[in-house]
Structures are given as C-alpha cells and as structure tokens.
Structure 1
C-alpha cells in the first residue's frame, strides 16, 4: 500500500470514528427489540414494513462488529442505521403501516451490499428479548 493510500485509509477511519461518536448503538438496539416484540407473533403481511425493518436493522447492526468489513461500508451502515432510528424523515415513523416504508427503501441498497458481513438471526434476537423479559420479571 502506498503512503497516499495509507493516508487516505487513515482519514476514512478518522471520519468513521467521528460519526460513531454521535451514533448510539443502544438506541438502535432498543428500537430493534421494540419492533421485534410488536411483530414477532404476527404474520409477515400484518407485520408489514416494521417486520422488514427488524430484519434490515438487525443485519446492519450485526455488520458493525465484523472486522472484515471496509471502513467505507461501515460509514454507509452507520448512515443507514441513523436514518432508521431518526424519527424525522421523509415519512414520519409514527404513521402506521407506511412510516417505515421510506426507511426500508432508503436502506435496502446498503443492506444488500453488506449482507455477506451479517450474522443476524431472528431466533437469536428472540432469545435475547426473552432473556431481557426474564431479567425484568425477576428484578435482576
């Protein structure tokens, strides 16, 4: 790798680190779990775009921990997650059935681009949600 390429790579990593300072992964995980709780016992048709957002957001979040993913892709993932969790966008997320439609359309390309880096599983998410519920019930 040339000095110029190395310098460009370092500046890209600094840029991603700057974005990550303003990125709240916990907020994204809370939204993921909330949406999954509200959709997991419903058919795909009834769950609609909220169910599709669960899959997309889960895939995006799982890629962030993959060391094989490039800095450029991580920056795209952070932006896509930010668009999903930001309540103010083209169509407000509070509108039933269509609120997450623009989010889904906006992040579809990023999800497709990083799918190979994802190890997201709805079953694992459900186990985590169930474990969280048990902890709340037992007061731990």
Structure 2
C-alpha cells in the first residue's frame, strides 16, 4: 500500500511554525509547532458526514465513526476514521490504517482539502507534519 498511518488531521493554524528536522522511519521530515491545533475545518460535522457518505465502500455511523475499504492489485486496504466537532464546526478527523493515495485524497476532499491547508499529527510518534512531510512518512511506513 502506498500509505500507512495513524493521524489526527486538523486545519493548519495560522500560528504554526516550522519545528525541528529529524529522521522518522528513515525519512527526513520537518515538523510543525503550534501552541494549539485550534483552527477549524471549513465545514460542519453534518457537511463532512454527508460528503463522506457519498464515497464508495464507506460505512459511516451517526456518531461520525467510519470505515472505508477497497482493493488495489489484489491487495486489500482499510481506513478507520472518526469525525470530531466542537459546537457547529468540524475540528479534526482521526484516520488509522492503510490506503492508496487516491483514497486518502478522496477523504481529504470531503473535509475541505486542497483549499484548506492541513496538519497531520502522528498519534504514535507525537509529531505534527505538513502535508508533504506526512505523505513522505506515510509512504515510508507502508514499506516498513
């Protein structure tokens, strides 16, 4: 699979700055620092839910938990996800699993990407990355 990861996905806060560079799973990445991931994604929970529900092979529950899966070249992939909102705005999406790049792009489109820059907080590693660094990491994780 092209990508393997467990990440919380937020809108990029305006106050985010470049953090330190280091190797993560053999990939040189540039981290991001922010006092808080307090920017909201550009839609409501309900709008993201409705967009995700239109994707093929998705099972989405009213609480925002969803599973999407498929097969590429005889290889099965699956992502588990969860929408999180505060008030009437979507705050973040948690995604865990593996998938081809096109499937990740389809999910990200449902939450405002590419118009909204995103930050990817790696759950196990405790590191926040911009999109390019996240994709490098997720691709390397898929091969390890």
TM-score category (smaller protein): under 0.3
| Alignment TM-score, normalising by the size of structure 1 | 0.25
| Alignment TM-score, normalising by the size of structure 2 | 0.24
